Amino acid sequence: MHKAADRIRNVALVGHRGSGKTSLHEALLFQAGALKRLGSVADGTTASDSEPDEKARQMSLQAALHSFEWQERRVNLIDTPGDPSFVADALAALRVCESAIFVVNAVMGVEVQTARLWKRAAELDLARLVFVNMLDRERADFYRTLEALKSAFGPHVVATEIPIGSEHEVSGVIDLIDMRAYQYVGNSRENCTEVPIPEEQLAQAQEYREKLMDEVAENSDALMERYLEGEEISHEEIVTALKDGTNHGSLFPVTCGIATANLGTNRLLDAIVEDLPSPVKHGAVDADGHLLEPDESKELFAYVFKTRADPFAGRINLFRVYQGVIRHDSQLLNTRAHCRERIGQLLSFDGSQSGHVEEFGPGDIGAVAKLKETRAGDWLAARDEPIELPTIKLPAAVMAFAVEPRAKGDEEKMFAALRRLQEEDPTIDLHRDPQTGEQIVAGLSQMHVEVIVDRLRDRFGVELNLQPPRVPYQETIRGSAKAHGRHKKQTGGRGQFGDCHIAIEPLPAGGGFEFVDAIKGGVIPGGFIPAVEKGVLEAMQAGVVAGYPVKDVKVTLFDGSYHSVDSSEMAFKLAAGQAMREAMEQARPVLLEPIMLVTVSVPEDCVGDVIGDLNSRRGHPHGMEPVGGGMTDVRAEVPMAEMLSYAPDLRGITGGQGEYTMEFLRYDEVPAHLAGKVIAQAEHEAVKA
């Protein structure tokens, strides 16, 4: 039997990489009794980082769902990656949860990914709670972090508890609502004991309780009036006002603890079930005009938010039920593919174990294996009705590599595996460069692409070679010229004869190709004119500067001759190619390079260094714009050739806090002193080939 929707809590753990989300996830599972022992990220024994590449890198690379019971509520907890390269999973988790717990490192404070995800959570109208972690680290400071949170996210960020002690002497927390203190010894489940508030922190606790009361009272007009008049406000009224403020996004409670020591996790679990909203409390969800209510009596609508590609089990899809009940061994409709899917095994991930369940009710989150067509972003429904949630804007892939399988004959296997991984991570860009013919794999960073390569090897047995992609240079002409091409060959019997005169001139940028038939008097029969145009186009596929395609040229065929017996389409095509190559050599040919519009998001104090670096890459800055959270967007035009190694350089300049996007803008002429290098490289590759 499924859990009632008002007894469910769906919570995403989010924050910057290294803030301790996975350790907190592990501690919450352990404290709730879902795990027998407390695992560690360092030794690769956590429940959520189960993949070999996650253990090797000691970081989360994908979202992990685990469910457990606490105080007769079902908690669906999703541990999300903190590295920006894997943000798609974090955003997908936020989409299907009513609440987010932001895990913040007490040493580092509010980091860039925390600020970005906070903005996304606000757009989705999620309840937000902050857990200040790692209080036992050197230079950890809860109060400095609290001020940083207020500065970044507004004055309604308010502490509901403060730590006892500081750095390695932290031993517990003080509850500011009940004005009680709790001490923790060891990391067992029963490590918490209520103790008197330390005398030396009593005044501090009173100060922060007053700040809490100010915020709670401000959340209710009735309470505010009584509070200002000095009336006593009951404990129940404080708790109710705090819950309402948290549920409606007007209050953001801040708790604290040490995940690796299991300090404060029991109180965080209480806050999850008592202060964070259920699907019922959060209310109906508007999906493309459909109001979906957490009502089990209505038709089923379930949203698939993550797909995992498994070489043995096929696709494993994680879903959220928004309305109705999804049952084992039933048939549902995929509203995108318009096909029926048989629901076989329904899966629940309870701690370190996965088990089969009969059904999931409204508001719940679960998984299903071996669906044929369904993938992330799809809806499973009782009827085939178009339905969508607002599109999540994902960052564009910027770090590209050309790939080829190490083993001959593995091309199809490689393409199939890459497509499977793209279903799992929509930020992966796969395409074939139409000019160079290379298969391109692009991700959000070099590490992102390296993880893709590792997964291809570990999951699908495909080894790849990575090469930086070739810059798609082009050529054009700056002058006009005329040329004569003649193809004449006699080998006994019928010969070959084609003769044409052409004139070429440049077109404006973006003009493409224009062919003009100016033949008069039938000196070249009309049936051979298309062959002349075809010969010209073939010659333009490899220009005379460095063998790159030619663009923005007008070609006029104005004279020629033919032989009534020996002329043929092939002869005229060869003659036209000869004439075109000769004309291009005389028309001041030049090399063109793609220019990209680059937008770099960086901390304010790094703007000068970033602009200086872009200038050194032949960039032309367009300006900058503050975007909040201490970040600034810098826009510039930069040649693509200068951006192939930009990602690691930007990471070094900004301490890992910068990110960028690129889009094609136009082609410009390569400076003469650089064109020689490109030409020499092209000649070297031609000889090698």
pLDDT band at 352 (very low <50, low <70, confident <90, very high): low
Range of lowest pLDDT (36-45, 156-165, 324-333, 487-496): 487-496
Residue 188 is given by DSSP the state: S
As a CATH number, domain 399-467 is 3.30.70.870
Q: What DSSP character marks residue 377?
A: T
CATH 2.40.30.10 spans which residues of the chain? 285-381
What residues does 505 pair with on adjacent strands? 554
pLDDT (0 to 100) of residue 192: 94
Mean pLDDT of 514-543: 94
What value does the mean pLDDT take over residues 7-22? Answer: 94
pLDDT average, residue stretch 402-420 = 88
Hey, which residues does 242 pair with through a beta bridge?
A: none
* Structure-model confidence comparison of residues 390 and 127, the more confident one: 127
Domain at 591-680, CATH from 3.40.50.300, 1.20.1530.20, 3.30.70.240, 3.90.650.10: 3.30.70.240
Q: What is the mean pLDDT of residues 194-215?
A: 93
Using CA atoms, how far apart are residues 641 and 491, in angstroms rounded to an integer? Answer: 49
- What average pLDDT does this structure show over 246-275? 94
Q: What's the rounded Cα separation, in Å, for the pair 349 and 306?
A: 14
- Range of weakest confidence among 112-116, 259-263, 555-559: 112-116
d(CA 547, CA 611): 34
> Residue 226: how many CA atoms within 13 Å on its side-chain side?
14
Of the pLDDT bands very low, low, confident and very high (cuts 50, 70, 90), residue 492 is low
Which DSSP symbol is given to 640?
G
Length of the chain measured in residues? 689
Distances (CA, A) of 86 to 60, 77, 427, 557, 598: 9, 18, 8, 55, 21
- Residues 366/340, Cβ–Cβ less than 8 Å: no
Q: How many helices (H) and strands (E) does the chain have?
A: 17, 36
Per-residue pLDDT averaged across 362-366, rounded?
A: 95
Q: Find the mean pLDDT for residues 477-487.
A: 96
Q: Which residue has the higher pLDDT, 113 or 342?
A: 342
Q: Ramachandran region of residue 560, left (φ > 0), alpha (ψ -120 to 50) or beta?
A: left
| Spatial contact of 85 and 443, defined as CB atoms under 8 Å apart | yes
pLDDT score of 358 more than 70: yes
CATH 3.40.50.300 describes domain 5-213+249-282: yes
Best CATH choice for the domain 285-381 from the list 3.40.50.300, 2.40.30.10, 3.40.50.720, 2.102.10.10: 2.40.30.10
**CATH code for the structural domain at 475-587:** 3.30.230.10
> What does 123-136 look like in DSSP terms, one character per residue?
HTT-EEEEEEE-TT
Give the integer Cα–Cα distance in Å for 325 and 328. Answer: 10
At residue 477, φ and ψ (nearest 5 deg) are -120, 155
How much is the pLDDT for 493?
67
Q: What is the pLDDT of residue 536?
A: 96
Mean pLDDT of 543-565: 93
**Do 149 and 157 contact (CB within 8 A), yes or no?**
yes
What percent of the chain is predicted at pLDDT more than 90?
Answer: 54
Side chain identity at residue 683, one-letter code: E
273: helix, strand or coil: helix
Range with top average pLDDT, 133-137, 286-290, 388-392? 133-137
Confidence of residue 50 (pLDDT cuts 50, 70, 90): confident
pLDDT at residue number 105: 93
Q: Where in the chain is the domain with CATH 3.40.50.300?
A: 5-213+249-282
Residues of the chain with pLDDT > 70, as a percent, come to 97
**Residue of 214 and 544 predicted with greater confidence:** 544
pLDDT tens digits, 628-655: 657 788 999 999 889 888 888 898 898 8
**Sequence letter at residue 297:** S
pLDDT reading at 458 higher than 60: yes
Asked whether 168 and 106 are in contact (CB, 8 A), the reply is: no
The secondary structure of the chain in percent helix, strand, coil, rounded to multiples of 5, reads 30, 35, 35
Q: Mind listing the pLDDT tens digit for each residue in 75-98?
A: 999 999 998 888 999 999 999 999
Q: Which bin fits 580, alpha (ψ -120 to 50), beta or left (φ > 0)?
A: alpha
The residues of the chain that CATH labels 3.30.230.10 are 475-587
Q: How many CB atoms lie within 10 A of CB 234?
A: 8
Q: How many whole angstroms separate alpha carbon 452 and alpha carbon 400?
A: 12
- pLDDT (0 to 100) of residue 350: 75
Query: CA 118 to CA 111: how far, in whole Å?
Result: 11
Residue 351's pLDDT is what?
58
H helix runs in 429-492, sequence order: 446-460
